[in-house]
A = this chain, B = another copy of it.
Amino acid sequence: MREAYQDQLGQLAERLADMCAMSGKAIELATKALLEADLGVAEQVISDDARIDEVRASIEEQAYALLALQAPVATDLRTVLAVIHAAESVERMGDLALHVAKAARRRHPNHVLAEPVAPYFAEMGRIAVELATEATDIIRTQDVARARSLEDADDAMDDLHRHLFTVIMDKEWPHGVPSAVDTTLLGRFYERFADHAVSVAKRTVFVVTGKMPGYGDEEA
């Protein structure tokens, strides 16, 4: 009985890790669709998103059942609650990748991005995938030190995003208003993706230490 309970806890964390990996795949493919104006890849991300939502719903059900039937305490309780919170963040990461894919589809066969800003998004995409991958590993390993160094990648994302913003707002921006608007929204999607990945890592720190690090300061 005790063994089955420990199995269930382990399964819960593993399913969250799977879901996080799916969101990393989603942002990787969405970025490819964006940079290459690839409609097929965009459509794949769009249809795969439902799967991420299903996994989140099932994780929540499983977590609630554990709470109702097993009344976990201490670290086990923190684990279940952290998984519930983190699943909400990971679903949001999936939604943001979905928004990127939809933007690529909306403007196809044109590229959404003007050539000069494409390199920013190539790099933001790379960082986003790295963050999702790191978060996935942190869920599996519960390595608190890695959770803290995730913030460096998030800082890099914020720097890029700020840089991109000054390019868009520059009075020499020659690509017109619609392009500026699309680029602004896309930049925000990547920046929020990163914020949510950091959130997931912080929830893992909470499981291990019992404290949420730097609580409430994810986005200035």
- Give the interface of A toward B (CB within 8 A): 53, 56-57, 64, 67-68, 71, 73-74, 77-78, 81, 84-85, 88, 91, 95, 168-169, 173, 176-178, 180-181, 184-185, 188, 212, 215-216, 219
**How many identical chains are in the complex?**
2
B188 and A169 contacting across the interface, CB-CB below 8 Å = no
Chain B residues closer than 8 Å to A81, beta-carbon distance? 64, 67, 84
The interface centre, meaning the residue of A84, A95, A173, A184 with most chain B CB atoms within 10 A of its CB, is A184
Q: Which of these, B57, B91, B168, B215, contacts A57 with CB under 8 Å?
A: B215
Q: List 26 A-B contacts (CB under 8 A).
A: A53-B216, A56-B216, A57-B212, A57-B216, A64-B77, A67-B67, A67-B81, A68-B74, A81-B84, A84-B84, A84-B85, A88-B88, A91-B216, A168-B177, A168-B181, A169-B177, A169-B178, A173-B177, A177-B177, A180-B180, A180-B181, A181-B181, A184-B184, A184-B185, A185-B188, A188-B188
